Structure 1
Amino acid sequence: MNNPFSLRTVNVTRYIAPLREGGSLPALADADDGFKYVLKFKGAGHGVKALIAELIGGEIARVLGLPVPELVFANLDEAFGRTEADEEIQDLLQGSQGLNLALHFLSGAITFDPVVTEVDAVLASKIVWLDAYITNVDRTFKNTNMLIWHKELWLIDHGACLYFHHSWNNWESSAKTPFALIKDHVLLPKASNLEEIDKEFRLLLTEEKIRSIVELIPEEWLQWEGSDETPDQIRNIYSSFLITRLANSEIFIKAAQDARQILI
């Protein structure tokens, strides 16, 4: 079966500079298609699981019609980074040979500031719904992970979502959790249309689309140390988690609504 979803693959040609936000040490880099990218390394922090979260979270956002920079697979040649003077960065590059993930660099974008930029109730509800669904802990006042580019709000950095996969136990019960951390979401006070958005998004996000997105995860990201599961079995757990969570969306919607009532 042909997958209706696909990501381009680019080759990284130049490491420009580290972007020292957070612990994963992403970088600005050039690729052989002539564009600049924010490069996320499989050799960093949470390794391939952060890249899997970034891929799944970003592509689900795209299916739901939310603006996300293009994601591409970024190939790092084995010779890459040998001339890097910084030992920490050289180790990171050497440990990230093969396929990594990159986001198209939005040149000139500025960090979203909730005090400066007003977000309407519909868009706020869409973003809160997404983050409650994919259990994204990282869209707070402290770190909004949103940019303003050409007067439009763009979502970035979904590497901290789907945190159930760091323990990988009891995914069935994890899929039905309310996600209490939604109380810290930067847009929660504005998210007054969650029930309407829930109906809309449950129609958009079909089981077929979920499985097609999960199918994008490269085989080399699924060779998990200490795991007896095959790549297909791991993909199936991701799909099953997302399908189950969607079927029980009333749980995380109610948690978000309750948290919002306390705030307003």
Structure 2
Amino acid sequence: MSRFRMYPTSEQAGVMLDHCAHARYVWNLAVEQHSYWYKGRIAAPGLAEQCRQLTEARRDSEWLRGGNADVQQQALKDFARAKTAKFTSGFGEPRWRKKYVHEGFRVIGTDRVPEFEADGSPKLNAKGTQVMGRSVVVRRLNGRWAQVKVPGCGWVRFRLTRAQLPKAKTFRVTFRNGQWHIAFAVIRMDREEVAQEPSRLRLCVLRVHLQRRRELSNQCRGRTERVSPPPATSRCRRDDSGRRPFERP
């Protein structure tokens, strides 16, 4: 998971706050549905049924219909994943999300890319056709800035603090303490890809190694820099002979 600082415009920030409100509203509706269940009662609706109910709710509610359907469906998928992992994650049952506290939403990539098996062969479905996976659309602006496509906002800039662009299927946007952040669910690379692509860690290690070699060579040539002592205070001031006052010769 790679995390970056986002810098949206005022208009883009308003749209993303609406996405946060829609995702929080859908999440709380799912929590309310599952809170009515007790032993002996019929099971609460699953993900497929909740998606169908979301379609009906968007048809009736103008406010909900004004949001993005993918963002709202991803909130339901996050709830279903949290419900399934309540015994293994250690967080227990999914809880309510509050305004100004749980501000965030998740987006799935819009670009389609072919998927491959671990051995490099193309991944095929039951009909024998190529499986196309999702990918986040990310574009580099320069060495420090990049931008990502957010539904309803267009291209949003974020500060690039890594050497390579993130490759992910989904990303999550959060708003906390007046700052926007984006976290990419990075796709794990094979060992060959890791060996081929230079990482930021390798560059840092190489830079430190070269600096250390330069310091050693300077020491061998007698070019070591001597640190000057701190200036003497009034209590330890020395005279021209180098002795402190009241010090025996």
Q: TM-score range by the shorter chain?
A: under 0.3
Which of structures 1 and 2 has the bigger CA Rg? 2
The TM-score with structure 2 as length reference comes to 0.24
